[in-house]
């Protein structure tokens, strides 16, 4: 029962171009969404988040878009840099629920080519 | 100074052994978690403690026993290790429900042979 799905296991883009990472979810009770970035042999690090009351949140080169009707969110990185090469995890939570826990997708490996 | 530290980083052990993984956070957070990342790269929650109280206990074999002596520490003890327990285990912490995200440790790679 995979409630958060990242259907692209990998993505390769050229330096300076836009990277778009996608995530779909099935649980309509989710009200908070986060993106994490993970380098090899390190733990995931928080990147950006969005509440279900918004459809866009921007932080520097990173923008997250939320389409609640489609149960879809995406992370845009513009411009992409070689240092952005990492695994990106989408995560979702129901903060209004009895217990808060993050449900993660399986990740997308982003490779930014110089 | 590491915010969430786990020890050991690597653990290789034989089937049937008992082992522990330790986790400490110095962020003053009140909630700590254990996540497991299996060979298919799923990051799945196992346990969560809030102020030393167990609040999340997913469907995990009872060979896994978390212990939180205080809100800065959450250890994971595993009895009678099996091959399928091989995975990377991540500890994490947050303040409250983690609206600003969780802070993860760097993981413990457990290999059962």
Separation of alpha carbons A102 and A41, rounded Å: 21
| Rounded average pLDDT per 10-residue block, chain B, 113 residues | 91 97 94 90 88 83 92 95 96 80 93 97
Task: Give per-residue pLDDT as tens, A2-22.
Answer: 899 999 999 999 999 999 999
pLDDT category of residue A94 using cuts at 50, 70 and 90: confident
Which residues are bridge partners to B26 per DSSP? none
CB contact under 8 A, A102 and B105: no
Quote the pLDDT of residue B78. Answer: 96
CA dihedral sign, ordered B105, B88, B85, B7: negative
**With an 8 Å Cβ cutoff, are B56 and A99 in contact?**
yes
| A-to-B residue pairs, Cβ atoms closer than 8 angstroms | 56
Q: What is the pLDDT of residue A2?
A: 81
What is the pLDDT averaged over residues A84-96? 90
- Give the model confidence (pLDDT) of A19-57 as tens digits: 999 999 999 989 899 999 999 989 999 999 999 999 999
> Chain A: nearest CA to B40, how far in angstroms?
8
pLDDT, position A99: 60
Torsion-angle region of residue B80: left (phi > 0), alpha (psi -120 to 50) or beta? left
CB of A102 within 8 Å of any CB in chain B? yes
- Reply yes or no on whether the pLDDT at A93 is more than 70: yes
> Is residue B44 less than 8 Å (CB to CB) from chain A?
yes
Computed over every residue of chain A, the mean pLDDT equals 93
Residue B90 Cα, gap to closest chain A Cα (Å): 7
Q: Hey, is the C-beta of B72 within 8 angstroms of any chain A C-beta?
A: no
| Min distance B49 CA to chain A CA atoms (Å) | 11
- Nearest CB to B99; choose among A32, A101, A104: A32
What pLDDT does residue A102 have?
87
The confidence score (pLDDT) of residue A55 equals 95
Beta strands in B1-113 (DSSP E): 4-7, 10-13, 19-25, 31-37, 43-50, 53-57, 64-70, 73-78, 87-94, 103-104, 108-112
**Any CB–CB contact under 8 A between A107 and chain B?**
yes
Flag the least confident range among A2-11, A66-75, A88-97, B8-17.
A88-97
Question: Is B21:B8 a contact under the CB 8 Å cutoff?
Answer: yes
Q: Cα–Cα distance between A46 and A44 in angstroms, integer?
A: 7
Say whether residue A89 is in contact with chain B using an 8 A CB cutoff. yes
């Amino acid at each position: 029962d995979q409630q958060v799905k990242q259907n692209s296991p990998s993505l390769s883009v050229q330096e300076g171009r836009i990277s778009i990472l996608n995530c779909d979810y099935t649980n309509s009770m989710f009200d908070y969404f986060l993106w994490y970035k993970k380098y090899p042999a390190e733990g995931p690090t928080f990147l950006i988040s969005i509440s279900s009351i918004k459809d866009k949140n921007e932080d520097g080169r990173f923008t997250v878009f939320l389409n609640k009707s489609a149960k879809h969110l995406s992370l845009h990185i513009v411009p992409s840099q070689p240092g952005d090469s990492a695994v990106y995890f989408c995560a979702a939570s129901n903060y209004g629920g009895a217990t808060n826990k993050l449900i993660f997708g399986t990740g997308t490996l982003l490779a930014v080519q110089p | 100074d590491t915010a969430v530290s786990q020890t050991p980083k690597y653990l290789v052990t034989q089937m049937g052994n008992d082992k522990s993984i330790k986790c400490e956070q110095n962020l003053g957070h009140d909630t700590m978690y254990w996540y497991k990342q299996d060979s298919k790269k799923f990051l799945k929650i196992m346990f969560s403690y809030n102020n030393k109280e167990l609040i999340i206990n997913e469907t995990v074999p009872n060979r896994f026993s978390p212990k939180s002596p205080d809100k800065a520490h959450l250890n994971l003890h595993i009895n009678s290790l099996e091959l399928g327990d091989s995975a990377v285990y991540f500890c994490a912490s947050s303040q409250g429900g983690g609206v600003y995200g969780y802070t993860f440790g760097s993981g413990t790679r457990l290999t059962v042979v």
